[in-house]
Amino acid sequence: MKIKIIFKLVATALVMAFTFSVVSFAGACEDIESRVLRLHILANSDSESDQALKLKVRDAILEISPEIFGDTSSKQEAIKRAKADLPEIIAEAERVIRAEGYNYSVRAEVVNDKFNTRIYENFTLPAGDYDAVRIIIGSGSGHNWWCVMFPALCLPSAEGNELQNELPDSEKCIVDNNENSNGYEIRFGVVEAVSSFSDWLCSLF
């Protein structure tokens, strides 16, 4: 009887510790969401030419992003500038598309959408609801491309330090690929699963 009681107490303590760890980690992930503005580009189709065109549009938009954001120091300010410059973003995308000989329409908007965990060369972004500049080329039915528009992490010269500088010390290890271990990968998976389950529950009501 005593052994069963001890076992139950230990099991309860482990479950509580695991739950606290997941909740704390999820909170840190949500804080990261509040600090970055993603860039999300949808190609017209999955044809080789349309996918190549998507990447050319990507390069052009990333090239003008320093002009859009300038000395912006916060994500909220970055969102305001992005919304104000949507016509310029569309015009730049259209310029590239026309130069490549296509006549696709272009739509651009600032949205809040779900993103899965994404591992880049120098950093990792956990899954979550992120604000993003979304560019839709033509029908937008092709594979998409996404990265981070602010801070400027997807420019050729970016090494991930920009995001590191935006985060408190307690969150830097989450995004730093040099620090990430299998333990963090498991936590990313757990947070994604919990989020999906929560969304499913909400859809029932």
Model pTM score: 0.66
Q: Any idea which of 26-30, 74-78, 79-83, 138-142 has the lowest mean pLDDT?
A: 26-30
Average model confidence (pLDDT) across the chain: 72
pLDDT at position 124 is: 72
Of 33, 26, 58, nearest in space to 184 by CA: 26
**Which DSSP symbol is given to 117?**
-
Rounded CA separation 31/115 (Å): 15
Q: Is 112 exposed, middle or buried (0-12, 13-18, 19+ CB in 10 A)?
A: exposed
**Which DSSP symbol is given to 103?**
-
pLDDT at position 201 is: 42
Question: Residues 141-157: pLDDT tens digits?
Answer: 999 888 888 887 665 54
